[in-house]
């Protein structure tokens, strides 16, 4: 295991935000959340928990306050929750709970929280001043979803615990998926029924969960960015509410009326011809390409980069757009295993 040098984390993060990324996003006004726990659960071991306050000290000493996001499958205790609250920064927890423990399989080992512990986590967070919680329901695949009769009770307990919402995520099939892992093929045969890339999701169960949540007035989303927007009481920043993606990832979801109104205001906002042209020119400058290689369509608020770009560059452009425009590219070169759903990728032949 390689541990980052804690003393350098703040400086490295600041260098990242004020580096090339700042050519398109002013770091002084940047509201992009800082997410910790994407790849390594910071709360699964005692040693990891011990360094969390030190990491937060580094970050809070070099940056202005912005949303911090923690992702964990572990059980928390009052001490760590209170310590984090003491920094005074807004925090959103994603408590990952797949219900795999109900199947008694081999997919999750180690100190992974069962449902009662996850509920206890949310109740701890609900008693704080600066923190909120969301349920990260992943992977939402046929073999792991709870029985039909259990689902209304599960939604009710999530709601009563103080969870602001649930985010339902399937299992990604694509670069980085360990397709040769025998455990996955044995435990999740539906996920590997074909070799097609993309997200595998139990669509029938999703429809039932969505209907159940609607009856109980509990928000359920398909994108984590929607949960972040709900926690911050602002419009969703990646454009889930716009274009074709809205038909699948926004409109079918149970979302509070006030929150949906915030995103609706973005959707019906007047078309800004000068704004989209200026942003397209900024994108071309950022990518160091000719301006005519970046097309824009005023009526549909679309920007298309007619060249290959890295996933890093795509994500910077996506966050800089802040939901005002949908972003496409000729092709995106992945920099990590997970490929986000907002990328429209064209092959050379199609491009």
Between residues 344 and 85, the one the model is more confident about:
85
Alpha helices by DSSP H, listed for 34-181, are 46-62, 78-85, 115-126, 151-161
pLDDT at 130: 98
Quick one: pLDDT at residue 94?
Answer: 97
**pLDDT at residue number 1:** 45
pLDDT in tens, 126-136: 999 999 999 99
Pairing of strands 220-221, 166-168: parallel
Residue bearing the bigger pLDDT, 103 or 289? 289
Q: Quick one: which of 289, 216, 209 has its CA closest to 252?
A: 209
Q: How confident is the model at residue 25 (pLDDT cuts 50, 70, 90)?
A: very high
CA dihedral 111, 10, 12, 285 (to 10 degrees): 110
Q: Where in the chain is the domain with CATH 3.30.1340?
A: 273-333
Kindly tell me if the per-residue pLDDT of 68 is higher than 80: yes
- Report residue 236 as tokens: 């969703």
Q: What is the pLDDT of residue 338?
A: 42
Q: How far apart are CA 317 and CA 345, in angstroms?
A: 15
Does pLDDT of 341 surpass 50?
no
Contact by Cβ (8 Å): 54, 6:
yes
The pLDDT-based confidence of 37 (bands split at 50, 70, 90) is confident
Of residues 271 and 48, the one with the higher pLDDT is 48
Q: Residue 218: exposed, middle, or buried by beta-carbon count in 10 A (0-12, 13-18, 19+)?
A: buried
User: Hey, what CATH topology would domain 273-333 get?
Assistant: 3.30.1340
Q: Which two tokens stand for residue 343?
A: 């990328």
User: Does the pLDDT value for residue 42 go beyond 50?
Assistant: yes
Task: Give the pLDDT band (50/70/90) at residue 339.
Answer: very low
More confident of the two residues 192 and 206: 206
Q: Could you tell me the CA-to-CA distances from 192 to 109, 141, 171, 173, 329 in Å, in that order?
A: 21, 11, 10, 9, 28
The C-alpha atoms of residue 20 and residue 15 are separated, in whole angstroms, by 9
Rounded average pLDDT over 269-278: 81
Q: Which residue has the higher pLDDT, 333 or 259?
A: 259
The whole-angstrom separation of Cα 92 and Cα 132 is 5
216 pLDDT more than 50 = yes
> Do 83 and 115 form a contact (C-beta atoms < 8 A)?
no
**Domain covering 6-267 assigned CATH 3.80.30.30 in the classification:** yes
Q: Which of 40-44, 101-105, 171-175, 271-275 has the highest mean pLDDT?
A: 40-44
Q: How far apart are the first and last CA of the chain?
A: 42
Q: Is the pLDDT of residue 34 over 70?
A: yes
Find out whether 131 and 85 touch, Cβ atoms under 8 Å.
Answer: yes
Write the pLDDT tens digit of every residue in 234-248. 999 998 998 788 999
At 340 the pLDDT is 46
Query: The whole model's pTM is what?
Result: 0.89
The pLDDT of residue 179 is 66
Is 349's pLDDT higher than 90? no
**Residue range(s) in the chain whose domain bears CATH number 3.80.30.30:** 6-267
């Amino acid at each position: 295991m390689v541990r980052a040098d804690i003393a350098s984390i703040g400086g490295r993060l600041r260098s990242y935000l004020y580096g090339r990324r700042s050519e398109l996003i002013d770091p002084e006004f940047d509201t992009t959340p800082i997410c910790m726990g994407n790849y390594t659960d910071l709360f699964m071991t005692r040693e990891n928990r011990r360094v969390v306050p030190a990491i937060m000290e580094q970050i809070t000493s070099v940056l202005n306050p912005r949303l911090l996001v923690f992702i964990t499958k572990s059980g928390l205790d009052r001490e760590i929750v209170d310590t984090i609250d003491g920094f005074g920064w807004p925090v959103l927890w994603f408590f990952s709970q797949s219900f795999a423990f109900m199947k008694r399989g081999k997919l999750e080992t180690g100190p992974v929280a069962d449902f009662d512990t996850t509920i206890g986590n949310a109740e701890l967070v609900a008693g704080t001043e600066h923190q909120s919680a969301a349920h990260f329901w992943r992977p939402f695949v046929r073999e792991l979803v709870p029985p039909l009769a259990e689902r209304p009770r599960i939604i009710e307990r999530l709601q009563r615990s103080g969870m602001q919402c649930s985010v339902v995520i399937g299992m990604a099939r694509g670069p980085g998926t360990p397709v040769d892992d025998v455990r996955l093929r044995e435990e999740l045969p539906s996920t590997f029924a074909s070799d097609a890339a993309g997200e595998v999701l139990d669509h029938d169960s999703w429809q039932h969960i969505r209907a159940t949540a609607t009856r109980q007035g509990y928000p359920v989303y398909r994108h984590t960015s929607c949960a972040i927007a709900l926690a911050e009481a602002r419009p969703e920043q990646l454009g889930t509410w716009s274009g074709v993606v809205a038909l699948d990832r926004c409109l079918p979801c149970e979302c509070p009326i006030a929150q949906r109104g915030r995103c609706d205001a973005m959707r019906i906002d007047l078309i800004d011809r000068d704004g989209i042209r200026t942003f397209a020119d900024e994108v071309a400058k950022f990518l160091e390409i000719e301006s005519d290689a970046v097309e824009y369509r005023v009526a549909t608020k679309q920007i298309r980069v007619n060249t290959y770009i890295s996933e890093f560059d795509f994500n910077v452009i996506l966050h800089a757009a802040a939901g005002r425009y949908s972003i496409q590219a000729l092709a995106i070169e992945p920099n990590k295993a997970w490929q986000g759903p907002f990328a429209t990728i064209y092959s050379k032949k199609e491009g």
